[in-house]
Chains A and B, each alone.
Chain A
Amino acid sequence: MRARVSPLAWIAVALGAAIVVAPLLWTVLLSLKANSELMRDSGTAFSAPYTLENYHSILNGNMVFRWLLNSVIVSTGTTLGVLALCSLAGYGFARLEFPFRRTLFVFVLLGLAIPEQAVILPQHRLFADLGLHNSYPGLILPGLAGPFGVFFMTQYFRGIPRDLDEAAMLDGASRLTTFWKVLLPLTMPAQATLGVFTFLASWNSYWWPLISATRGNMFTLTVGLASAQMNYAQTSGLGFLMAQAVFASIPIFIVYILFQKHIVRAMSGAAVR
């Protein structure tokens, strides 16, 4: 039986939804208007005529599909890498006994407190010395060092009863088999959550791709679309700017639709037991 929701709660939720949806709706409407019309009055976004001219300009850009492909490769590569590394690290911290385990775990957690800006110079220098700028590894590797993912997976593994490991071992399973065949399948909700978060963060990432991918053919979508803007985009190219925002968010929207259940679970904290 469904719980009865009070009208007040309905109003509050509707109001909250309207606050969230309004700017998105406005963005979409602006993207469907001619730039010259918006320069005169952005309020015309709420009335016809509408046009697909801005989307046409984006899709006819020389490199836009290349940037899209780059973003897919980088985001997918980063996500798969993070899932593999964080699962292994999480299992290690949760289940294995080794010297300095706690110290190392704290050390990993310290990474959460270090902002990207603090390490950007040595990181850039390192990648320059390795000749990795303007390459997929150059865009993917920095994203793999994810202390949040390690912490998240460690907590999840800790929540799985040790009895399962012991039962598997009694049946003669090795540690690797226990990890691979018994425990890993049980972490799928956490994997999905971490995967979605990592993919979203990587897709929206701007700063590192901006300074690492300095050649047009290696731009990710965020950097590429920014480069396509004219200097006065917010005034004389507002419709185009908004169309870019909508275009860049379409893949994310698709990811959200596909993984909606996991995202909601993650946001509500239900994925961590």
Chain B
Amino acid sequence: MRGRALLILAAAAATLFGCSPGQKKTEIALQRFFGECGAVYGQTVDLAKAEGECGIVTALINKFNAENPDIHVEVNIVAWPGYTQLASQMAAKDPPDLVTMHQGVISDYSSRGLLEPMEPILRHAGIDPAGFTAASRLGVTKGGTIYGLPWDTIGGLFHVNTKLFAQAGLMKGGKPVFPNSPEELLAQARQFKAATGKPYFVQSQLNDAATHVRNLYTYLIAQDATIFPDPKHIQLQTAEARRVLALFKQLNAEGLSTVNQDNPAAIATFLNGGGGVFPTGTWMIGGFDQEAQTPGRPLYQSYAVFPYPRLWGHAASFVDGHSWVMPKRKRTPEQRAAIVRLLAFMAAHNFDWSRTGHIPASQAVVDSAEFKALPHRGDIAPLAQIGRPLPGYVRRQGAIEGLLGEDLGAAVTGQKPIDQALADAERRVDELLEQTD
């Protein structure tokens, strides 16, 4: 008993003196995007009270700082996506300690030796990469080496207006009926249009390279097509790619999809009940679900969301994800220890982050009842398994997306013949990849 009292006293003394205001804190620099919301969440440490990407990440770091008085995480918020600034900091040999990075971008930096391999650090933090979802593990693994702590999986989903689906007779057992082949998709889309007078698809096809690329990559992966046979080439002049583009072109040509809409216009159309399915990302779940909870709105109690249906081959989805990476730089042992603690903290709060709508990187969280109790998460959870990023050796994925998006968009809207669009896209991407060292 006495020993226990002494122990408590010692712990109290350690807390008091060890963390006195005079103690020098270990400072680590964290750089992130997701915006600035200090006005709302600057003091929030209760994670349940934080909403959205910005709110949750702000509250998480507040909480970490509050619970670790010997560490101060200095946050630098950069304009999305922040890679211009990161490259600049690396050139000036002054990068931050931890950075948010899309998993598809990691190879641009890891291939130049600018990032620290993370496996030893994750091990110190008690994080077992075997516990990551398949999509996340693949996303941060480049050339067999793990370069980041994956935080989530982001990808395309079919956001559905269930009221219109019911009107079209496309609901069964309270769930939307999805097609299993391109022919079925066309048949259901025609049925939908005949019953509702509205297009089956609401699509953002203007100035939105990501939409076209997501559709193509997803259905190429589903067909087991090789997209990048090696680090310097893309392979697009294939029967698999032609099939995908032909389908989306036909949907446009038959008026089964909205056309000439950019992302804000497509979102507004979907929110106002202008179509059945909006293929867009995980990040829209929160906004759409809010509409589904608002009486009087067209989506009221009429919203569901699922991964892209299998149309060819097997169920698959092209995905990316957010991760925390460590740029190479000099650090003190104390800073390394602080980073380890922060990474452990972030991994331990993966569920809180999943409230953003993104799929958690931890398989245990994906499987948890807590996660599945969140709206629609049980329906989208398979994305963690069927999600596939591009091969780890593919660099310049962002730039490639921009190039591909232009030609794919031209093909599905009928501005270019499909064969020409694929040939042009292949040539342009190969020229870009040729420039990588």
Contact = CB atoms under 8 A, between A and B. Distances in A.
Given A39-B287, A61-B36, A234 B76 contact: no
5 contacts: A39-B267, A42-B268, A214-B76, A227-B78, A231-B283
B264 A235 contact: yes
Interface of B: 33-40, 42, 52-54, 75-81, 84-85, 87-89, 91-94, 263-264, 267-268, 271-272, 283, 287, 290-291, 297
A57 interface: yes
B89 A214 contact: yes
Contacts, number: 102
A26 to B, nearest CB: 14
Interface residues of A, number: 37
A59 B38 CA distance: 11
B39 to A, nearest CB: 3
A133 B94 contact: yes
Contact of A216 (B77, B93, B272): B77
Given A39-B287, A62-B38, A210 B94 contact: no
A192 interface: no
A273 interface: no
B42 A39 contact: no
A230 B57 CA distance: 12
A211 interface: yes
A125 B52 CA distance: 38
A229 B92 contact: no
Interface string A223-239: 10011111111111110
Given A62-B42, A227-B77, A230-B34, A124 B88 contact: yes
A61 B85 contact: no
Given A40-B268, A40-B297, A210-B88, 20 more contacts: A39-B287, A40-B272, A59-B39, A60-B40, A61-B36, A62-B38, A127-B92, A128-B94, A133-B88, A211-B85, A211-B88, A214-B78, A214-B89, A215-B76, A230-B52, A230-B54, A230-B80, A231-B33, A231-B35, A231-B53
A210 B79 contact: yes
A231 B85 contact: no
A40 B271 contact: yes
A214 B85 contact: yes
Nearest to B93: A128
